Amino acid sequence: MMTHLPKEWRFLSDAWSYAVILTGSQQIATELVTSTLRVLADRHDILGNKHRRRVFFATLFRESPKAPRVDLPESNLSDDILKLHNLPEPGRSALTLCHMGLFPIDQIADIVGKHEKDLPELLVATRAALTATPKP
């Protein structure tokens, strides 16, 4: 389905995967991506695909719930996704975006609202929390 999108919008598949990690729900992730598309449709200051992609992910981050959902996440999500979902922000997003390889580190820092120099420490702490987190 995503392969039928124009090339400049093919990042939506990765955006949806990121939204699932943020929300712990495929349905809520779809709603978050849809609302983000609406926000971007009203913006006339976005120039180019790289800028659009960065603004899209920054908007997902900003508009998503900052704490993991307290109700039970969907049972059809993998244990790895659930472990990521249960990490606190902004480490969860920084680690996820770093792993996805969609942005250079300075842009990840911008997306999550941290200074680039603070990101290595944040990533180390988040990786430690991820390996220490028991399975849900």
Specify the CATH number for the domain of residue 62.
1.20.140.160
pTM: 0.85
Q: Nearest CA to 57 among 81, 84, 90, 24?
A: 90
Q: Which structure tokens are listed for 122?
A: 């944040």
Total structural domains within the chain: 1
Residue 125 CA to residue 39 CA, distance in Å, equals: 32
For the stretch 17-68, pLDDT in tens is 999 999 988 999 999 999 999 988 888 898 888 999 999 999 999 998 766 6
Domain assignment of residue 83, given as a range: 2-132
Give the pLDDT of residue 69.
Answer: 62
3-state SS assignment for residue 114: coil
For the stretch 70-123, pLDDT in tens is 555 666 788 888 888 889 999 999 999 999 999 999 999 999 999 999 999 999
Residue 109 CA, distance from chain mean position: 13
Range 121-128 contact pairs with CB under 8 angstroms and sequence separation of 24 or more: 122/90, 122/91, 122/94, 123/91, 123/94, 123/95, 123/98, 125/91, 126/87, 126/91, 126/92, 126/94, 126/95, 127/95
Give the pLDDT of residue 82.
Answer: 85
